[in-house]
Amino acid sequence: MLDPTMRTIQASLDGLSARQRLIAENIANAETPGYLAARVDFESSLREAIDTGNFAGLQMNTSNSLAATGVNGNNVNLDEEQVSNIETGLRFQMMTEAMNAKFHILKVSMRRDS
């Protein structure tokens, strides 16, 4: 059974993974005519889940970017996608380290109880 901290970290990792997949799709389709870049928002739903303690209703909302399109109808901005990819990777790393720290705390507390 996961405590609220671990559920929050796990939900963050899930949302960041979904964001990384969409960023990769956006980059792969940077030259595809008519392709609209996609975005993932999970933070607002995560905030609500933390506030209410109900993680069952956690949602990842996907939407198309509202950025202007080019001549071919594509609105992928490679610079923005690369920056977003780096930021998402750093956040994922931070959440992974937070999960590792939580496991370390549990491990240490089990040793002291034995």
Q: Which amino acid is at 23?
A: I
Residue 38 is assigned to a structural domain of this protein: yes
Rounded to whole angstroms, how far apart are CA atoms 54 and 9?
Answer: 14
Q: pLDDT (tens digit, 9 = 90+) per residue, 33-68?
A: 999 999 999 999 999 999 998 888 889 999 999 999
Tell me which residue range forms the domain holding 98: 4-108
Q: pLDDT (tens digit, 9 = 90+) per residue, 10-23?
A: 999 999 999 999 99
For range 93-109, the mean pLDDT: 92
Rounded to whole angstroms, how far apart are CA atoms 54 and 22?
Answer: 26
Residue 80 is assigned to a structural domain of this protein: yes
Residue 71 is assigned to a structural domain of this protein: yes
Count of domains forming the chain: 1
Of 61, 62, 40, 58, the closest CA to residue 50 belongs to 58
Please tell me the predicted confidence (pLDDT) of residue 114: 57
Residue 113 is assigned to a structural domain of this protein: no
Residue 79 is assigned to a structural domain of this protein: yes
Residue 19 is assigned to a structural domain of this protein: yes
Name beta bridge partners: 63. 39
Length of the chain: 114
Does residue 46 contact residue 12 with C-beta atoms inside 8 Å? yes
Which residues, including other chains, have CB under 8 Å from residue 103's CB and lie 6 or more apart?
Answer: none
